[in-house]
Amino acid sequence: MRIALSVETFLPKIDGIVKIACLTLDYLRQYNIEAVIYAPDQGVKNYKDVPVIGLPCFVDPWYPEGKISIPTPNTYLSLRRFKPDLVHLIDPGFVGLAVGLSAKVLGVPTVGSYHLSISQIVKDFGIPLAEKPIRALRVWGFNYVDHALAPSKVARRRMLQHGVHQVGLWRRGVDSQQFHPRFRSQAMRERLSNGKPDSVILLYVGRLSPEKQVHILKKVLEETPNVCLALLGGGPKEEELRELFEGLPVNFVGYLQGQELAEAYASADIFTFTSRHEAFGLVLGEAIASGLPVVTTRVGGAEDVVQHGSSGYIVEVDGVDQMAGYIRELAADPDKRALMGQRARETAETLQWDDMMRELIYFYEDVVRTSTGRDPRLSPQERPKSPMFLPKT
């Protein structure tokens, strides 16, 4: 089986979508499935021997960390040369449009997976008039592909409400060995807390952008004694947040990866996620796998991974006072933090990427077989049909 993927952002940038794209490529390689990936051209030519076919791009004027790609005839020509059995458009935009249209011309089945609420993001960036047109284009795009996938139950409901006809569920997981409480480190606590490791360390991991609402944590810090905030990530709101939090115990740590990131999660005391909207939020899984109680807004996959009152708390998007209250409660009660963290870890152990990605491979096989009549299975013949599979009507 040969799979072509497209993505609107890729290495060297690191975010949730890039993590999912790389993880998918890792598993395709594990199953000996040949792959290519189309992405904005940022100098990366291959990923672990998988060719990265770059499209010309320029900086997004509203979000300087992002890129806007320019489709070219090479997109179609290279896809025709590769002869994929299936094309998977990861959160399709300009790259996905070029690759998706090329696939349709070539008669190749297409899958589109939803990862980001772009219509909401443009509103957050002060372009409210673009919200409805972008949403309409996105709905059209997910109805244009042969199969649409959502990462969480909340996102699936939203897609159906907005007019996408059929939506499967591509669940999210976590590597519970990569993220684990055993990586707790006194040295990392020193680093996260700016030399005050006896403080209760509140951790946020993600972009510092408008939709993440990190500014609401100012109220938490002002009202909760002996708490410091470590912010892992960067983005367009960083300078504004530095001014907002001036004089408060906040450490702008920047981006961490690999072992350092695992140590940061495990060395904190409480994880908070303040986002206004999210398709899933991979950081929630990483936090619970690290044994952290979570206080999060009701977005994305929060309800899929956090049991309210057991492994953490879920508040409404505008529930600033409620969030502050739960964080104060946890900050004052180390025994409760420990118990919730233990329950969080137990949940994470049931959400393994191996299972989620195996379902995706089965799904690819089912789509190819149904669309072309050929059986591309590399897995045992007795295996069940992928729970994601929905015949297109």
Distance from the Cα of residue 37 to its chain's centroid = 18
Strand 110-113, strand 250-252: pairing? unpaired
Verify that 322 and 198 share a domain, yes or no: yes
Q: What is the pLDDT of residue 60?
A: 74
Verify that 169 and 196 share a domain, yes or no: no
Verify that 26 and 136 share a domain, yes or no: yes
Residue 58 and residue 173: Cα distance in Å, rounded? 33
Q: Is position 362 within any domain?
A: yes
Which of these ranges, 118-122, 139-143, 343-347, has the smallest mean pLDDT?
A: 118-122
Instruction: Map residue 8 onto helix, strand or coil.
Output: coil
Q: In this structure, are residues 64 and 236 in contact, taking their beta carbons and an 8 Å threshold?
A: yes
CATH number of the domain encompassing residue 62: 3.40.50.2000
Q: Is the pLDDT of residue 203 over 90?
A: yes
Enumerate the H helices of the chain as residue ranges. 16-30, 73-82, 94-106, 118-124, 131-144, 153-162, 186-192, 217-223, 238-244, 258-267, 282-289, 302-305, 320-331, 334-348, 353-372
Cα torsion at 380, 382, 388, 389 (round to 10°)? 110
Verify that 193 and 272 share a domain, yes or no: yes
Q: What is the pLDDT of residue 380?
A: 56
Q: What is the pLDDT of residues 29-78, one digit of tens each?
A: 999 999 999 999 999 999 999 999 999 988 776 666 667 888 899 999 99
Verify that 320 and 293 share a domain, yes or no: yes
Q: Is position 381 within any domain?
A: no
Q: Which among 95, 100, 98 has a CA at the least distance from the CA of 68?
A: 95
Verify that 22 and 166 share a domain, yes or no: yes
Across-strand partners of 38?
6, 53
Q: What is the pLDDT of residue 190?
A: 98
Q: Is position 386 within any domain?
A: no
Considering Cα of 75, then 76, then 81, then 83, what sign does the dihedral take? positive
Q: Is position 387 within any domain?
A: no
Q: Which residue has the higher pLDDT, 70 or 122?
A: 70
Q: Is position 24 within any domain?
A: yes
Verify that 145 and 209 share a domain, yes or no: no
Q: What is the pLDDT of residue 119?
A: 46
Q: Is position 392 within any domain?
A: no
And the tokens for 100?
């998706």
Verify that 151 and 192 share a domain, yes or no: no
Verify that 307 and 257 share a domain, yes or no: yes
Verify that 12 and 107 share a domain, yes or no: yes
DSSP string for residues in 188-246:
HHHHHTTS-TTSEEEEEES--SGGG-GGGHHHHHHHSTTEEEEEE---TTHHHHHHHTT
CA distances to 9, 124, 289, 313 from 68, rounded to whole Å, are 9, 18, 34, 37
Verify that 32 and 112 share a domain, yes or no: yes
Q: In this structure, are residues 302 and 273 in contact, taking their beta carbons and an 8 Å threshold?
A: yes
Q: Is the pLDDT of residue 393 over 70?
A: no
Q: What is the pLDDT of residue 71?
A: 86
Give the residue-averaged pLDDT of 175-188: 96
Q: Is position 377 within any domain?
A: no
Q: In this structure, are residues 269 and 228 in contact, taking their beta carbons and an 8 Å threshold?
A: no
Domain holding 133, by residue range, is 2-173+353-372
Q: Is the peptide bond before 12 cis (omega within 30 degrees of 0)?
A: yes
Q: Is position 123 within any domain?
A: yes
How many domains does the chain contain in total? 2
Verify that 223 and 262 share a domain, yes or no: yes
And the tokens for 309?
């009152």
Q: What is the pLDDT of residues 307-361, one digit of tens each?
A: 999 999 999 988 899 999 999 999 999 999 999 999 999 999 998 888 889 999 9
Q: Is the pLDDT of residue 214 over 90?
A: yes
